Structure 1
């Protein structure tokens, strides 16, 4: 599941709620507190979901029967499908709670009550288990970080009129648990799975509450909000969960001990790697004394090699295993002993080398970015040597950094000027920083990941804003086209085949069509205004060609004043040129005088000049602004055509690559499918429209191999799955 890395507050006012006054808006510093906290909470949720699969898979593996095993597998699937909606729902409720701080509290204050365990005996067992678990989670945070939370509540009360306590504080554990439960209320999982997910929420979100409150208090102190309050004591390292401590307190120059699940995962990989072991060995005469080098010595050798990684112009020339082998040979010759890498370390080297072989051969990753990512082989190898959970933990900072870089680069086009592009420059800075500064402390990956997520979050918000504008414009254009077609239909139905004064035909085609167009767009076809517009057109046509009905002259005299007023009002509402309007009405007046004279039969010849008459023999086609020549196919593909079925499976947000010619291709994201007409609108990674196709045209391009779907699955995960698949095939030969 791809995480888009963005926090976009949706500040909506319900229909029955009055618009808040400016006095009810949040102070700027509270907005900063909210946004900073939202970023940390979002990262905690991502870590939760990244690890949920591993946890549930492990539970399924240990299940005593098929029923329990299926329960955990179904829960994994349900979480994957609903992950994004839960993250969005949680953050939306968090933002809404902060918005509520700016509203005046007109309700009576109520005291929060402790859980009554006797009363809980009356509720269903599932609800009881959940409530007890939640109460324990909240109590643990309050006992551990209650002092800092209390200070935060005090500072909030100094800024807003609404009173908050630890239970109603938007950043308090009770509220955070409430947001999470509400966001995940549609999860169709059993209570034992819900309790596991709640424990993960405690481990990856609530365990970092001290950082949440410390940063919020610091922001408020920096702006002068109750700086005199005594600072909260720092939480002991032992108080943190083991997972959080592992990420923040990375070992320096020491290998992280393997826990049971990591050990099992890596042992399984080692079994697959057995037949390629021995490929990293010095080239010395047979019979030389063999002496393995320690892991710390290996890290020193890799740090030496790290200084000689080639520039991005030729990453394929850097063979990691070959370079290390040459270095081992030089060390061995100098020492007189055959220095070899230990079995576990060699397995890590081979695995990283194979992963990067996949990455550098990946069709999804753009070539210009491959060159940069290829330079990360040694830093990634070093962190994998230090911490084997790199291969088993999806939330590992180094692994996530690699995935986030690849995800951000998905829409990178071959024609992009990478030397000037902000994304390329930022990735280049990350690569250079790792090559220059990473020795043996993996904490640098967490720091760089946080910075990169903040950068891509800003980029994504800008592109989504432009994307929304693109969608709005395309939907407006489609609606205008629909209106134009409808106006053409009603005009042709009334004019085609008739011979009418030229001025009337021009008036209807050039002026009244605009009135009808605006009426259809604003009021709709079922409106009284649309029917009135059609009636005015019918009356105008009849008024210049009454076909000698009974009492036509009397009817015309009664009709003309109202007709002229309706015409004048309609043209004014459409902002039609007043000079052209005046000319039309002058000519129309002469026409009506002539018709009245003819009806009165005052003379055989009309007393006014005969108007120019035209016969409408061709369908009226109204011009559309910025009309382009269609590049669509001229035939219809059958409904079961393979290309058409592929197109209909496309979803909003998916990336495709379209080959424009032999030398260039375009990467773009499907942002909208416009109905009617089924137009597919594509944008580039900045959100700007770059392509428009019908389903038929896309299907034809798919059939001739000119368009393909880009796999947006996580790069490292795809690479690892491919390598494991290749190793399994090699072992079965």
Structure 2
């Protein structure tokens, strides 16, 4: 198992080897978690004057564990405080890798799954979140404490991992509910802002067509404008109620125009209109329906103006000032720079650096929430895409991050190669003589990093294969920034292939050649005493 990762240091080959119990004892006693596990172990042997060394393969595995953490911290960074805390799990990872074969298969060991879950729930954690960030800190602290206690008591690592994963899922669920409430509130705010703009546009259009008496200014800018917003919000701009409101707005102003120059038929139509308008005004003034005195006052004032027009008493007409509705939302840019709902970013805002998740992309606006689901920022999507392109908003990769780091640290680019490298030495000669026959219902093997086009979404999705977990029958696909886009069960993936909904856009054809060359080189480096 470990020969694929063994790269021994020849200068240490003559040193006596540590016994297994001694090796475990030194790993359990590590206190400086910032050091690589091998360095921390050797620091202890130096203090006590022990000349023994771990075996070459054990040294290689310990170096691999350090490379995993380096890869994880660099490619999938968390806040420094959490990164520092989680380094305390290096000894546990080292012991598991030395004693448990599944550890060499990314995503299959309980500790891999636990770390994946911790990263997913902690990606947005920051130290200044206060009480909102406490659930994540408590989860991390308890996971570290329980796993380290397990080193001394031979406890149930699977049980601990399952508990941590379940607790992380509960934190996710609470944050999701909060995010949904935040999004609903933001959607309401945007809809209300849009209602102001649309209501003002409808009224202003008629104010440009018809002059009106100054006495109508307070009605049109006040209760009528407010009622237009309520009508839009309640019924929408495609409804019969909205059409009635729009038509009546023009009729209210048309009724104020002098009739002296109208023909008999037009004058008769104007008189009929004047008889129904007071009732229409009363019906459509939704904003003051429950204020009977004000409603009566506005209706009476309008009827007085109608009477003056009917009696040919001249009204002093002028073009009233339009209603100020504020700025209209900027149109959404055609290219959102890869931003998607659910994606995490590290955002520079003024003098702060914030870890935020895209919660909503709507009406040319983006809403960003913190790890608890509370509203943190909102801005025009065009402004956010500018931040992305300038580097002021950096995407944060998520999804099976520790498992992916473990594979990357081993230099493995596909699940098939990892299975070959991890195969027991007794079966290597038999398995390498001929590949296993293809199963008609098995998922076709693809190198990690292969780009695929999915046509079952609208618009079609371009995604890269990041992990294929054959034990859990799961495939994870990410975008160019390493952000998880979708995960499919093998049966779902096969169904899409059979339906012609998947295209392989790009694959590394020299993958197997690279893996075999790396394996041969490592065996040569190990020498004739292969483990």
TM-score normalised to the size of structure 1? 0.51
Corresponding residue for residue 374 of structure 2 = 688
The answer (yes or no) to whether the contact 1:383–1:440 under 8 Å persists in 2 is no
What's 1:467 paired with?
Answer: 179
Match of 2:472 in 1: none
Q: Name the SS of the counterpart of 1:619 in structure 2.
A: coil
Which structure has more relative contact order (CA 8 Å, sep 6+)? It is 2
Indicate the residue corresponding to 1:615 in structure 2.
319
The equivalent residue for 1:652 is 341
Paired residue secondary structure (1:665): strand
- What residue is the counterpart of 1:509 in the other structure? 221
Quote the Cα distance in structure 2 between the aligned partners of 1:430 and 1:292.
Answer: 32
**1:81-107 deviation line (CA, Å, top 9, x unaligned):** xxxxxxxxxxxxxxxxxxxxxxxxxxx
Q: Paired residue for 2:39?
A: 322
Deviations 1:165-199 (A, max 9, x none): xxxxxxxxxxxxxxxxxxxxxxxxxxxxxxxxxxx
Match of 2:360 in 1: 672
Q: Are the structure 2 counterparts of residues 611 and 421 from structure 1 closer, same or farther at C-alpha, using a change threshold of 3 Å?
A: farther
Alignment of 1:335-350 (within 5 A): 338-350=51-63
Per-residue deviation, 1:330:
4.4
- The 5-angstrom pairing of residues 251-330 of structure 1 reads 263=1, 266-270=2-6, 273-274=7-8, 276=9, 290-303=15-28, 305-306=29-30, 309=31, 315-316=33-34, 318-330=35-47
Distance 1:553 1:340, change over 3 A: closer
What's the CA shift for 1:560? 3.2
* Matching of residue 385 in structure 1 with residue 88 in structure 2: no
* Structure with the higher strand share, 1 or 2: 2
Compared CA separation, residues 269 and 481, structure 1 to 2 (3 A):
same
* Helix, strand or coil at the partner of 2:285: helix
Is it true that 1:429 corresponds to 2:146 in the alignment? Answer: no
457 and 575 in structure 1: CA distance in 2 versus 1, 3 angstrom threshold:
farther
Cα 1:277/1:709, change in 2 over 3 Å = farther
Q: Which has the higher helix share?
A: 1
Query: 5 Å matches for 1:185-204?
Result: none
1:295 CA drift (Å): 1.6
Q: Does 2:290 align with 1:564?
A: no
2:205 & 2:302 partners in 1: Cα distance? 22
1:476-502 deviation digits (Å, cap 9, x = unpaired): 333333333332222122112643112
SS at match of 2:376: strand
* Contact kept in structure 1, 2:127 and 2:133, CA below 8 Å: no
C-alpha displacement at 1:411, in angstroms?
1.1
Tell me which residue corresponds to 2:308.
594
Counterpart position of 2:497: none
**Structure 2: gaps of 5 or more residues:** 413-514, 526-531
Does structure 2 retain, via aligned residues, the 8 Å contact 1:438–1:444? no
Q: State the match for 2:191 in structure 1.
A: 479
2:216 maps to 1:527: no
The answer to whether the Cα contact below 8 Å between 1:411 and 1:684 also exists between their aligned partners in 2 is yes
Q: Retained in 2: the 8 A contact 1:359–1:365?
A: no
C-alpha spacing 1:553/1:362, structure 2 compared with 1 (3 Å): closer
Deviation at 1:331, TM superposition (A): 4.7
Residue 277 of structure 1 and its aligned partner are, at CA, apart by: 6.6
Q: SS where residue 536 of structure 1 aligns? A: helix
* Paired position in structure 2 for 1:706: 392
Separation in structure 1 between the aligned mates of residue 82 and residue 137 of structure 2, nearest angstrom: 8
CA distance in 1, matches of 2:64, 2:188: 52
Are the counterparts in 2 of residues 348 and 384 from structure 1 also a CA contact under 8 Å? Answer: yes
State the SS of the aligned residue for 2:92.
helix
Q: Is the 8 A contact 2:16 2:52 kept in 1?
A: yes
Cα distance in 2, alignment partners of residues 571 and 383 from structure 1: 73
Equivalences for residues 35-114 of structure 1 within 5 A: none
Q: CA deviation at 1:374?
A: 0.8
Structure 2 matches for 1:208-219, cutoff 5 A? none
TM-score, normalised with respect to structure 2: 0.69
Pick the aligned partner of 1:447 from 133, 148, 159.
Answer: 159
Query: What is the alpha-carbon distance in structure 2 between the residues aligned to residue 408 and residue 463 of structure 1?
Result: 10
Q: How far 1:573 moved relative to its partner?
A: 6.7
How many equivalent residue pairs? 416
Question: 1: distance between equivalents of 2:382 and 2:106?
Answer: 43
- Distance in 2 (CA, whole Å) between partners of 1:419 and 1:695 is 27
Q: What's the counterpart of residue 434 of structure 2?
A: none
The runs of 4+ residues in structure 1 deviating greater than 6 Å are: 726-729
Instruction: Measure the CA separation in 2 of the matches of 1:523 and 1:360.
Output: 52
SS at match of 2:212: strand
CA contact (8 A) 1:412 1:667 kept: yes
Are 1:503 and 1:584, in contact at CA under 8 Å, matched by a contact in 2? no
Contact 2:121 2:171 in 1 (8 A): no
Q: Deviations over 1:195-254 (max 9, x none)?
A: xxxxxxxxxxxxxxxxxxxxxxxxxxxxxxxxxxxxxxxxxxxxxxxxxxxxxxxxxxxx
User: Aligned partners of 2:337 and 2:75: how far apart in 1?
Assistant: 26
User: By how many angstroms is 1:503 displaced?
Assistant: 2.5
Q: Please give the per-residue CA displacement for 1:596-618, whole angstroms capped at 9, x wherever unaligned.
A: 222xxxxxxx5xxx8775432x4
1:156 alignment partner in structure 2: none
- Partners of 2:382 and 2:392 in 1: how far apart? 14
SS in 1 for 2:204: helix
For 1:343 and 1:564, locate their aligned partners in 2 and report how far apart those are by CA, in whole Å.
Answer: 95
2:459 pairs with 1:723:
no
* 1:653 shift after superposition: 1.2
User: In structure 2, how many angstroms separate the alpha carbons of the residues matched to 1:669 and 1:290?
Assistant: 52
Contact map agreement 1:658 1:667 (CA 8 A) in 2: yes
Structure 1 unaligned spans of 5+:
1-262, 282-288, 599-605, 624-628
